[in-house]
Structure 1
């Protein structure tokens, strides 16, 4: 779920492996807890208008109690609305790491409960997750009941539509990523202090493999193409006190292992309950090239300027305007007031009494990104909750420079550090990417792949329905505007599992 952190927050991902050698440096004592821990006077969390509010600590506690959830055992990055500002680190392990996991890391892990009230928020948030290789290195041999997690993301490279590992960050294409540490705060200095302090405490039990830094964009809540992100995240029973109109309501077990709604609950070990699988993908965005494509192919229609035609094409590719307003409710022009209103910006199904759901694309193309990954009425009502995921991504990289904009060419990498939580990656993220986004015949025959995240191993993508004046017109995309740089599948354990299983 999405933590909405201060717009000054920066994120970093650092991956390490206990199989490699090398010591890490030191810094101030980050590991102060309880009465000794520095307290915040202002909240880490921000609240972009387009996104639903987080529940209060009191409301979330009441909802959790009614559902039988223990928010004190659930890591805070899972059941929050993580916005764009997170810091990711990966930890590997060796024999010396296990006791440090319990003594140095566990006391610092931020729970869901802690993040909901400024009085309990830490200066720097810390969460942790492990890959299958990481669990194996910890000598945890019980299966978590998900084959895609067990095999790792590299084994899924063709399934996900990636054109081989050439574009992947080399560390993701190797075998040394055992885990990820996620740090978050409102200043870079806080993050750096926390990282250095923890590295010093862990000593040579870990080795840094890779790091990725991200930061909020000037318009809070947007990704690099300029669109509001995370609006469609579901409400989770046991956490969300009052779901909003149109918000996808899912059982806790769709996101949390072992809870009601986890379709593989019987295959899970008892210690994994209330953990969640974390999918990480580094997605490079070709922003100047995307903008040039829109400028070169504006939708031509009476009453539209060329710029408005380009904006409309982009909105129809995404399924929302940059403000977050859905094209299903605002089919020709952006409506910022609608986009900023979380009581309205999700309250649609793609079904209208004056149009045939199975053939009409006047309002929203069948291939639009938000329709591909949440088809709503296209698959009937009520919606099946099994495919739901909780997205927690963050942008990385600098803003587009004047030189890049003038040349229409990306020279500095930027994109999205995609993070999503779910109880079943095979049913969730993996299925969404393969069977929906990359499938030209989903949910209607011949519509093409998702024009934003769909990938056909580098092949051209032919899409219908982007032109509202003639749904038979095809659009050929010769460039993937999003390029996978690789990633990994992780498991974010409950705090209790660290004591009972992972550190012993």
Structure 2
């Protein structure tokens, strides 16, 4: 049974309270597994042509209501602030968007800790400030379906004037949902209240819809501020897109330098991620990988950290525990539920191999598009980058950084708590190098039509 079939079995229409017909499917519905797809970046040279393209694309963008049909692909669309400007959206309405979105990701490098090799001057040209106006994402179940979707999108683009295709990047994980390092990805996803899909074991409860969608009650009991008018803002959300090249060869070399046997390499890698490559969590399988557990959505996320407060099973500073501390005791007080995110990350390049060497990293052909969705997206990503990823104070680890996605301008350290003395492993490098990104707004389906019509008068 596929992931989508399992999701459909959990769907209960009688519990739906959201406007599913108006919400893009990419927000609430999981990607296929395995999956293939394309990210395409476009630039608007002329407003009328750009609006006409949006209008023609709109019927091809699936809603969260028709996801249960036998769709073999779906398209998502998101716009940058400069893209909205290029469409002709009036200044008065543009000013109702959050300031970080108005400024764009490149201008927020200080807040995002995008320094050194991750600095905007080193990004791919498509992501240089002001270039990307429209980001289209296509997910498909296989290459045949993807080619069909691409033909549809290209046919609409060929009819367009005043729009430039800056580039497209094919991605996919044909062996399941593995990231570039060979680990099962995107396991822990929040259940959204009112979406019709109940939480899985380990998710505790559904998170208020307003944490992910504009116009609904959030965890603080009120709707968050949204762009005006409501025709533009409601049922939309914000998206963070960050492209990384993954230095798989350096990661492999690091593991080999700190272990004598393949089992020791795998154990260290699991400690760094918080899970084994199959997705089995260390909490439930501390001594060895368990592929059957890793593949079971009823069990692979059903755990907490209450019996591991010191991180002796799952290190406090591992990647998984940093990005979702769950019930960990944090030195820096934080409401974890307002920092929950929906992840739609996508892997590109050859599948993982332990034979990849450091010299292979120069090709830049392996990596990850880190994509997340939240009504608080920009506050959340900047908080995560500053506190959870590139510092360790919140778990009493000082300046120690995330061992997988942290920026290590000098060789870093990773701490593995154990008795009688903790183990400190030096030589952590920047294993994922930032190659670009943007802050985006994903409108509702009706808002896309509103933008296409230039309804602001």
Deviation readout 1:214-247 (Å, 9 max, x if unpaired): 1224x20111101110111111111243211111
1:377: how far off? Answer: 1.2
| 1:102 to 1:151, Cα distance in 2 relative to 1, 3 A | closer
Q: Which residue number in structure 1 is paired with residue 166 of structure 2?
A: 209
| 1:257 to 1:165, Cα distance in 2 relative to 1, 3 A | same
Given that 1:56 and 1:116 are in contact with CA atoms closer than 8 Å, whether structure 2 keeps it comes out as no
Which one of 120, 128, 135 corresponds to residue 173 of structure 1?
A: 128
Q: Which residue number in structure 1 is paired with residue 152 of structure 2?
A: 194
1:144: how far off? Answer: 4.5
| 1:99 to 1:159, Cα distance in 2 relative to 1, 3 A | closer
| 1:446 to 1:387, Cα distance in 2 relative to 1, 3 A | same
Mapped to 2, the partners of 1:470 and 1:410 lie a distance apart of: 41
Given that 2:29 and 2:64 are in contact with CA atoms closer than 8 Å, whether structure 1 keeps it comes out as yes
Mapped to 2, the partners of 1:266 and 1:279 lie a distance apart of: 18
Deviation readout 1:10-63 (Å, 9 max, x if unpaired): xxxxxxxxxxxxxxxxxxxxxxxxxxxxxxxxxxx9429xxx931359x35322
1:474: how far off? Answer: 2.0
Which one of 334, 342, 347 corresponds to residue 297 of structure 2?
A: 342
1:193: how far off? Answer: 1.3
| 1:351 to 1:482, Cα distance in 2 relative to 1, 3 A | same
Mapped to 1, the partners of 2:381 and 2:100 lie a distance apart of: 10
- In angstroms, what is the RMSD of aligned CA positions? 2.7
Trace 1:5-154 onto structure 2 (pairs within 5 A): 46-47=2-3, 53-56=6-9, 59-64=11-16, 67=17, 69-83=18-32, 84-93=35-44, 94-101=46-53, 103-118=55-70, 121=71, 124-140=73-89, 141=91, 142=93, 143-154=95-106
Using the size of structure 1 for normalisation, the TM-score is 0.79
Q: Which residue number in structure 1 is paired with residue 424 of structure 2?
A: 474
| Structure with a larger share of its residues in helix | 2
Given that 1:463 and 1:475 are in contact with CA atoms closer than 8 Å, whether structure 2 keeps it comes out as yes
Given that 1:275 and 1:493 are in contact with CA atoms closer than 8 Å, whether structure 2 keeps it comes out as yes
| 1:292 to 1:447, Cα distance in 2 relative to 1, 3 A | same
Q: Which residue number in structure 1 is paired with residue 380 of structure 2?
A: 428
Mapped to 2, the partners of 1:327 and 1:76 lie a distance apart of: 32
Q: Which residue number in structure 1 is paired with residue 448 of structure 2?
A: 498
Is the counterpart of residue 226 in structure 1 residue 182 in structure 2? Answer: yes
Mapped to 2, the partners of 1:341 and 1:470 lie a distance apart of: 35
After the TM superposition, which of the residue ranges 264-273 and 251-260 deviates more from structure 2?
A: 264-273
Which one of 215, 221, 224 corresponds to residue 258 of structure 1?
A: 215
Mapped to 1, the partners of 2:421 and 2:297 lie a distance apart of: 30
**SS state at 1:476 partner:** strand
**SS state at 1:239 partner:** coil
Given that 2:52 and 2:452 are in contact with CA atoms closer than 8 Å, whether structure 1 keeps it comes out as no
Deviation readout 1:424-474 (Å, 9 max, x if unpaired): 123322222222111121223437211011125x23322222x64565332
After the TM superposition, which of the residue ranges 108-117 and 405-414 deviates more from structure 2?
A: 405-414
Given that 1:247 and 1:346 are in contact with CA atoms closer than 8 Å, whether structure 2 keeps it comes out as yes
Given that 2:246 and 2:364 are in contact with CA atoms closer than 8 Å, whether structure 1 keeps it comes out as no
Deviation readout 1:87-124 (Å, 9 max, x if unpaired): 22233332222541454111222111222221xx2x54
**SS state at 1:487 partner:** strand
Q: Which residue number in structure 2 is paired with residue 464 of structure 1?
A: 415
**SS state at 2:377 partner:** coil
Mapped to 2, the partners of 1:244 and 1:133 lie a distance apart of: 39
Mapped to 1, the partners of 2:223 and 2:127 lie a distance apart of: 27
Is the counterpart of residue 320 in structure 1 residue 275 in structure 2? Answer: yes
Trace 1:238-249 onto structure 2 (pairs within 5 A): 238-247=194-203, 249=206
Which one of 216, 227, 244 corresponds to residue 268 of structure 1?
A: 227
- How many equivalent residue pairs? 435
Using the size of structure 2 for normalisation, the TM-score is 0.87
Q: Which residue number in structure 1 is paired with residue 239 of structure 2?
A: 278
Q: Any stretches of 5+ residues in structure 2 without a counterpart?
A: none
1:197: how far off? Answer: 0.7
1:190: how far off? Answer: 1.6
Is the counterpart of residue 375 in structure 1 residue 325 in structure 2? Answer: yes
